Amino acid sequence: MEDTRKSQMGDLRPADLDSSFPVASVELPKLLLASASPRRAEILRIVGWPFETAAVDIDESVLPNESPSNYVDRLALAKAKAAAFVRPASLILAADTTVVVDEAILVKPRDDGDARMMLETLQGRWHTVITAIALISAKYSESRVAHESTEVKFGAMTENEIDWYVATGEPMDKAGAYAIQGIGARFIEGIKGDYFNVMGLPVRLLYKLVKY
């Protein structure tokens, strides 16, 4: 399969980004993470990034004819703005992740049947995971948004395996109905790109956005 990884950071130049954002060298600026996701919090702890959390709630419906990348970009920025409204902070981080297969956006499953349908669609083939991150500097009322794409191959699954995995409950709050860092890892055959991106927070992309 052709490697179709794409990062929007390729379009950004240091001169394009205002110096009002904090510049990271060794010390990293404390983030307000606009998310209740334990996975994103875990990633920030793993890489030693200081943060606190503030969960936000927004409408995550897909707009008519909206592309997957525009969808995650829009939601990430909306989450960051919602957090900035209720919890002003020096630097606010929000993210949104979706799974794409055959140009279809797979969001979090509505119920067990929806999760089962997603897994049946993904099994035995490649798909794309896109995560957008948005940064808002509340002090200067400025924002940055970018996204990362990673290709993931799901292994073939029997009906019994699908039923068992759905019954674990793990798929229910995950885009695409699986967690690469959880039980779902046993069904992953290959990955092309950023592992953390599939978990929900592309750390290298975040570092670049903060640094430059």
pLDDT digits (tens, 9 = 90+) for 1-14: 444 444 444 444 44
Cβ–Cβ < 8 Å for 198, 174: no
Query: CA distances (Å), 125 to each of 24, 44, 120, 170, 179, in order?
Result: 39, 30, 10, 20, 16
Is the pLDDT at 78 greater than 60? The verdict is: yes
Residues recognised as catalytic? 96
- Indicate the residue type of 94: A
Residue 22: pLDDT band with limits 50, 70, 90: low
Residue 26: pLDDT band with limits 50, 70, 90: low
User: Which CATH architecture best describes the domain 30-211?
Assistant: Alpha-Beta Complex (3.90)
Which pLDDT value is given to residue 131? Answer: 97
End-to-end CA distance of the chain: 33
Percent of the residues in the chain that have a pLDDT greater than 70, as a whole number: 86
**Can you tell me the distance from the alpha carbon of 212 to that of 210, in angstroms, rounded to the nearest whole number?**
6
3-state secondary structure of 113: helix
Instruction: Quote the pTM value.
Output: 0.83
**Can you tell me the distance from the alpha carbon of 91 to that of 188, in angstroms, rounded to the nearest whole number?**
35
Residue that the structure tokens 């992309």 belong to = 205
Beta bridge partners of 80: none
Which pLDDT value is given to residue 87? Answer: 81
Which pLDDT value is given to residue 74? Answer: 97
Which pLDDT value is given to residue 19? Answer: 46
**Mean pLDDT (whole number) for 67-73:** 96
* Side-chain half-sphere exposure of 39, counting CA atoms within 13 A: 21
Backbone angles phi, psi at 17, to 5 degrees: -110, 130
Residue 20: pLDDT band with limits 50, 70, 90: low
Quick: pLDDT tens for 145-188: 999 999 999 999 999 999 999 999 999 989 999 999 999 999 99
Residue from 203, 133, 142, 145 nearest 19 by CA: 142
Which pLDDT value is given to residue 89? Answer: 72
**Mean pLDDT (whole number) for 49-76:** 93
Cite the beta strand spans of the chain per DSSP E: 31-33, 51-53, 92-101, 104-106, 126-137, 142-154, 188-192
Cβ–Cβ < 8 Å for 144, 207: no
* Side-chain half-sphere exposure of 208, counting CA atoms within 13 A: 18
